[in-house]
Amino acid sequence: MVRSSSLVFGVLLSTLLVAFVACGGEGDADPGPTGGAGPEQGFTSCGNFPDMVAKSCQPGQYCADAAFSDCKAGCLSNVNCASDQTCQKAAGETTGACQNNMTTTSSSSASSSSSGGGGGNNLARCQDACKKMLQCGLLDAADGAQCTNDCSEASDVEQKTIADCVEPWTCNAPIPGCLDPIVCGPSYPCPAGQDCLAHTCL
C-alpha cells in the first residue's frame, strides 16, 4: 500500500537546503513565508494533529481533514492560493489548482522577482525534476502536481537544489541519497511487511 503526503516537496526541500547551507551553500535567513511582511494569503489552518501544535497548509494546498492535519494538493477557493494566484476549477469540480495570475510586465525578471519564486532556467529544471520523479514512479499524481506547484513558489537556489539532485538519477535506479527522506513510492515498494506512508516505510 502506498500513501503519500502533499508535503513531500517541503520535507525534501528542507532536508536538501539544510545540507546545502551546512556545506557552505548560498543561504539567507528567511524570517518566514512572507519575508517578514505579515501573514501571507494561502496559508490555511489545519488542526493540531498529532502533537497539539497548530498546523497550516501551504499555498496550493487545502485542509482535507483537520482532525488529522491532512493537507492535500489543490484548492477549494482563492483563500488556498498565494496572493498572486487564483483557484482554477474545472466545471463541476469541487477542488482545483492554484494558477499564477498573468502579469502585464514585459520583463520576465521583474515578474519572477515580484512573485517570490525564482525564474528562468532553474524553474524549468525544478519542474522537470518533479515530472521525472512522477514518470519514474517515485511520486504519485497528487505529489507530482504539488511538487510542480511548489517549484513555482521556491527561490532560485531551492529550485536549483532540487534539480541538481534529481537530474543525474535514472528511473529504476536506487533512490539517490540526496532525496532522503523519500525512501519509497508507487514504483519503489517497501520491504515485505511494511507500508509506504508519506514516502517512509513503516
Residue 50 clears pLDDT 50, i.e. is over it? yes
Closest CA to 9 of 60, 54, 44: 60
Counting residues of the chain whose pLDDT is more than 70, the rounded percentage is 71
Residue 104 clears pLDDT 60, i.e. is over it? no
- Rounded Cα–Cα distance for residues 133 and 135 (Å): 6
pLDDT for the residue numbered 21: 36
- Rounded Cα–Cα distance for residues 37 and 40 (Å): 8
Q: What is the pTM of this model?
A: 0.47
pLDDT for the residue numbered 183: 86
Bridge partner residues of 150 (DSSP):
none
Distances (CA, A) of 16 to 13, 49, 111, 139: 5, 25, 26, 17
pLDDT for the residue numbered 56: 87
Residue 55 clears pLDDT 60, i.e. is over it? yes
Closest CA to 151 of 80, 106, 98, 199: 98
Q: Which residue did the predictor score with more confidence, 14 or 162?
A: 162
Pick the range with the lowest mean pLDDT from 98-102, 105-109, 129-133. 105-109
Average pLDDT, the chain: 75
Mean pLDDT of all residues in 81-86:
84
- Rounded Cα–Cα distance for residues 116 and 168 (Å): 27
